A and B are shown apart, each in its own frame.
Chain A
Amino acid sequence: MDDLYREVIIEHYKNPSYRGKLDPHDISFADNNPLCGDHIQIDLQVSAEGIVTDARFDGQGCAISQASADLLLESIIGKTLEDVKKINKDYILDLLGIELGPVRLKCALLSLKVLKAGVYGLQEAGDDLVE
């Protein structure tokens, strides 16, 4: 429990590297966490070969949701969209290096849901995207 606020999480929350918006962008998607109202938007630039060349997130949220967004975007730059589609819950938990209860898990997975909904071109970011 004490590791929930590991140094790296507080650090990514306070000084995120990938916060902001991309203009122009190839993919942009935003959604809310219905439990807490947290909001995340993710913008991507994608090359002709389908590789993510740059990424940013914007919005409000707790340390867990913001740090996981920052870590997630850092980790997908250089990956193909096909690889991004394969990212799941465990991938995020590995990035964060913590275990989470059901409520905070939603915070941690919000950015992944938004990212995948954007990559798949969906209308809404459903829970099924991160199973």
Chain B
Amino acid sequence: MTLDLKKIRNDFPILGRQLRPGVRLTYLDSTATAQKPLQVIEAMDEFYRKFNANIHRGVHTLAEESTALYEGARERIAKFINASSARQVIYTRNTTEAINLVAYSWARANLKQGDLVILTEMEHHSNLVPWHMLQAERGIELEFIPVTQDGLLDLDAYKTLLERQPKLVSFTHMSNVLGTINPAAEIVHLAHQAGSIALVDGAQSAPHLKVDMQALDADFYAFSAHKMCGPTGIGVLYGKTTLLETMPPFLGGGDMIREVKLRSFRANSLPHKFEAGTPAIAEAIGFGAAVDYLTSLGMDNIAAHEHEISEYAMERLEEIPGLKLFGPSADKKGGVASFILDGVHPHDVAQILDQDGIAVRAGHHCAQPLHEKFQIPATSRASFYLYNTKEEVDLLVKGIYKVKEMFG
């Protein structure tokens, strides 16, 4: 089923914004954060107007209602990723915190000096720095699956690395710079065969692809609401129950305990064991509304729409003289177009496009090592989501010609 773009765009009030007189917003930066539909904005608004109370332990009506909403959202998020139980869905602030939770709790309890963790050359800083920190603290070893010139992971090199018996393979499902969709299930399967566990950074896959925890079989999967039409300040760590149950708590405090004595505590059961303190309640409810929204459109339809836009964008961008695109061909990637333009710095590209209301991002997109690999300091990145249209791609292309003219 094709998406009804006219209807969808009406769901997103910000897409109708005039930035300056006569300049309408063309939002091509959803990889950084997605825009929010009314359904999400109104769910959060309604929570504060009608239901606001702290969750758990309260017996008054509002506390009952807010707890039900908060936990109801968790159930729907679990269903969205086809987790077998909502107990496996731990609320965090974002993907970064979810990965750090694994690094602080699981890894510090299980990794010792000399243990190998395999990452890839296309990781976001959030899946690099926690491991650098553990390396400094524990002396673990890090190896990286190389990225080929056309932006794919070198799986043969990965298989060779696996012979060294890693304890953890942690990798992104989809690159936020190249757009590459990695064969995640295969990478996880190979890791398991080698006796390793696997963490999948789903920050870019949960918003754009149908993900299924049963089929993926990852031990951990991390994602952020804000990239999938939900609010900022909330994300999820999904984990396999056996692992989550044996892991020590991460942060200590209220809610994560079953019992506290003056000199000791017993941890609460899953998922609360990892959720210390008052959580982002309205945000969790907004996240629930976001997965409802995506589900109502159908993740397969969203992926198909993005693919169509992305293919069209690649075609149009490739025609521009002096423009170089990074990453694989459209069939192997999501809706991300990172490029450089001869003689013009990406910041200048983004700034000039902004004059016409076109929002693209410029920089290293929190993936500095990947840019170093391709020997460029920065790229401009246009990214596409369920609300973007071919007309917007045309505006982008027109804008890039204008940049060329200014610097020509």
Contact = CB atoms under 8 A, between A and B. Distances in A.
B351 interface: yes
Interface in B350-408: 351-352, 355, 362-364, 368, 371, 377-378, 406-407
Contact of B364 (A5, A14, A36, A64): A36
Nearest to B377: A37
B345 interface: yes
A36 B355 contact: no
A62 B347 contact: yes
Contacts of B327: none
Interface in A1-53: 1-2, 4-5, 10, 14, 35-39
B348 interface: yes
B371 to A, nearest CB: 7
Given A5-B406, A10-B406, A62 B348 contact: yes
B231 interface: no
A4 B363 contact: no
Given A1-B355, A36-B363, A36-B378, A10 B368 contact: no
Interface size class of B (residues with CB under 8 A): 10 to 19
A89 interface: no
B362 A36 contact: yes
Nearest to A9: B348
A37 B378 contact: yes
Contacts of B363: 35-37
A69 to B, nearest CB: 13
A35 B364 CA distance: 8
Q: Which residue among A35, A61, A62, A65 has the maximum number of chain B CB atoms within 10 Å of its CB?
A: A62
B345 A62 contact: yes
A39 B406 contact: no
B377 A10 contact: no
Q: Which of B347, B352, B368 has the most chain A CB atoms inside 10 A of its CB?
A: B347
28 contacts: A2-B355, A4-B351, A5-B348, A5-B351, A5-B406, A10-B406, A14-B407, A35-B363, A36-B362, A36-B363, A36-B377, A36-B378, A37-B364, A37-B368, A37-B378, A38-B345, A38-B378, A60-B377, A61-B347, A62-B345, A62-B347, A63-B345, A63-B347, A63-B407, A64-B347, A104-B347, A104-B351, A107-B347
B29 to A, nearest CB: 13
B346 interface: yes
Interface of B: 344-348, 351-352, 355, 362-364, 368, 371, 377-378, 406-407
Interface size class of A (residues with CB under 8 A): 20 to 34
A105 B217 CA distance: 46
A60 B345 CA distance: 9
3 closest residue pairs by CB, A with B: A62-B347, A62-B345, A36-B363
Nearest to B347: A62
Contacts of B355: 1-2
Contacts of B378: 36-38
Contacts of B362: 36
Q: Most A CB atoms within 10 A — which of B363, B368, B371, B406?
A: B363
A66 to B, nearest CB: 8
B177 to A, nearest CB: 12
Contacts of B345: 38, 60-63, 66
A35 B362 CA distance: 10
Contacts of B352: 5
Contacts of B364: 36-37
A64 B355 CA distance: 16
A30 to B, nearest CB: 13
A2 B354 CA distance: 11
A39 B347 contact: no
A66 B368 CA distance: 21
A38 B345 CA distance: 10
A31 to B, nearest CB: 13
A37 B371 contact: yes
Contacts of A63: 344-345, 347-348, 407
A63 B406 CA distance: 12
Contacts of A2: 355
Interface in A49-93: 60-66
Contacts of A60: 345, 377
B129 to A, nearest CB: 13
